[in-house]
Amino acid sequence: MRFTRSVTTGLLPSLLYLAASIDASKYSSEYGLVQFANLGYSGTYYKVKSIDSSSDDSCTCELNRDEPYSFSGTNAPLDEELSVHIRGPLNLQKFAYYTSDSYSYGDTSGNWSRLAYYDSESGTADNVTFLANVGKNITCLGKALDYIDSDGISAADSSTVLGNVTLESNEEFTIMSNISCEDSGWDNDCGVYRKGIPAYHGYGGEVKMFLFKFRAPLQSDLDSSVDEDSTSYDLSAIWLLNANIPRTAQYPTNGNCSSWNSGGGEFDIFETMNSTENRHFYSTIHDFQGIGDIGTGIQNYGYLERTPDSVMMGGVVFGSDGVVSVFLSNSTTFDSDLSSSDVSSWMSAVVSADEEKVETLATIAVASSTTTSSSSSKGGAVRLLTEPKGFQWKLVSVLLGLLAMV
Ligand SMILES: *[C@@H]1O[C@H](CO)[C@@H](O)[C@H](O)[C@H]1NC(C)=O
Ligand SMILES: *[C@@H]1O[C@H](CO)[C@@H](O)[C@H](O)[C@H]1NC(C)=O
Ligand SMILES: *[C@@H]1O[C@H](CO)[C@@H](O)[C@H](O)[C@H]1NC(C)=O
Ligand SMILES: *[C@@H]1O[C@H](CO)[C@@H](O)[C@H](O)[C@H]1NC(C)=O
Ligand SMILES: *[C@@H]1O[C@H](CO)[C@@H](O)[C@H](O)[C@H]1NC(C)=O
Ligand SMILES: *[C@@H]1O[C@H](CO)[C@@H](O)[C@H](O)[C@H]1NC(C)=O
Ligand SMILES: *[C@@H]1O[C@H](CO)[C@@H](O)[C@H](O)[C@H]1NC(C)=O
Ligand SMILES: *[C@@H]1O[C@H](CO)[C@@H](O)[C@H](O)[C@H]1NC(C)=O
């Protein structure tokens, strides 16, 4: 899901820190709802300025380090347009994207409007485009993004509605809106992207919600054989990326081919991390809010349960209060209009049934400074080999409790 093989050298645009202590006992506990509070910071990342994909030998990219892209505000940079990513084993049955004028955790007034919807049963696909890395493979970029057929894995000539398919381990696809990008170009609406791909906008908005209905069966229960030693064997996942990342390169071997290393942003909604914990969905933020190691990211130590034998429903809510909530609830509905009180009630119900865990992210504390770091792959995630100078860990974990819900 991230750069698993790349060795990159990048300039971290800013060095940030957050404060506190980690209580070992809170690792790896099951929760009904996991949250991150205080999401969003002021920072910069580098967008891709040019891509040469003409041949394996000349394959290279350049980031616009002269003009760092600045962002700030609630949920930033995850308030930008995001793409949705699905990794098997997974059978996606429904997907929906909503926006709202305003939503704070626990709100009982207000509403949400559905702006994109997929239902495998009825074959509905409103404002969704199914894509995957199934195009030409070039050294620095990997495989090109292209349309996929209803089977979820083969390339197609045009946008096609996904069928009721179960992806195997290691198989992935991407969902974008159906709004086409202008031509690739620094000043154009989607910026620079890889030549020849079907380029679409992601799903934008500071206040947004993504809902899913899906099964995540065990690979061993599927009627096929996948090498147990393969990278993502039995690691079902659903995550979000800054939409400019898959449009340039999702898995480049050259870190200059995407904004990811410099903090374009990733949010892992439901991610099984490794074989020992393959029934636990973790949630992680990969940007530079309060941390220097984007590969590890900001992890929430609580997890939601992956139930391989049953259909799961739930999703992620990015609130105007900077609280991101990730939940699984069988009460989830996918109506074209949803009231905020319904959304709040799904979460309060799982909270009262279970327990709640919140990681509070600190706001940006340290002024921009520049440092050089290198990272390499280890255990499937990029880690810093040398920690930036002056880097400090501080994590605050608080239980918000049910105050807002009663
Ligand atoms: C949803 O809320 C907006 C204001 O936030 C309001 O204009 C609109 O009428 C509401 N829609 C419904 C269906 O309640
Ligand atoms: C979709 O496929 C799954 C098995 O992969 C099955 O359980 C489910 O009933 C199917 N849904 C529909 C609507 O056919
Ligand atoms: C995009 O999806 C919307 C909602 O389904 C639809 O009204 C519109 O015609 C679609 N646009 C394109 C270009 O397919
Ligand atoms: C692309 O080709 C390279 C060799 O040039 C290979 O190592 C890599 O695995 C290929 N990528 C994919 C996704 O097939
Ligand atoms: C499709 O999604 C985009 C992405 O944010 C949104 O701006 C647009 O309004 C949606 N289109 C429709 C028809 O709802
Ligand atoms: C990425 O860009 C930097 C700055 O231009 C350059 O020093 C570095 O060699 C590039 N990395 C690769 C892998 O091309
Ligand atoms: C599996 O992932 C969890 C969650 O990130 C982590 O706590 C645990 O140490 C990992 N286990 C192994 C064996 O890597
Ligand atoms: C959700 O519903 C499914 C049946 O569709 C059931 O198997 C599962 O146990 C339910 N999950 C929870 C958390 O109640």
pLDDT in tens, 85-128: 999 999 999 999 999 999 999 999 999 999 999 999 999 999 99
281 located within any domain: yes
Q: How confident is the model at residue 307 (pLDDT cuts 50, 70, 90)?
A: very high
Domain range for 64 is 8-405
What pLDDT was estimated at residue 321?
95
What pLDDT was estimated at residue 403?
22
Task: Answer yes or no: is the C-beta of 28 below 6 A from any ligand 7 atom.
Answer: yes
3 located within any domain: no
More confident residue, 328 or 362: 328
- Cα–Cα distance between 9 and 12 in angstroms, integer? 9
52 located within any domain: yes
Name the pTM for this structure.
Answer: 0.87
What residues form DSSP beta bridges with 337?
113
- Give CA 392 to chain center in angstroms: 25
- Give CA 16 to chain center in angstroms: 21
87 located within any domain: yes
Radius of gyration of the chain (CA): 20
Task: Find the 256 Cα to ligand 6 centroid distance in Å.
Answer: 6
1 located within any domain: no
2 located within any domain: no
Please say if the pLDDT value at position 27 is more than 70.
no
302 located within any domain: yes
For the chain, the distance separating the N- and C-terminal CA atoms, rounded to the nearest angstrom, is 38
The tens digit of pLDDT for each residue in 162-221 reads: 999 999 999 999 999 999 999 999 999 999 999 999 999 999 999 999 999 999 999 999
366 located within any domain: yes
Which of 227, 242, 204, 20 lies closest to 115, judged by CA? 204
- What total number of domains does the chain contain? 1
Task: Answer yes or no: is the C-beta of 129 below 6 A from any ligand 3 atom.
Answer: no
Task: Find the 34 Cα to ligand 1 centroid distance in Å.
Answer: 28
Task: Find the 281 Cα to ligand 7 centroid distance in Å.
Answer: 11
Alpha helices in 177-317 (DSSP H): 244-248
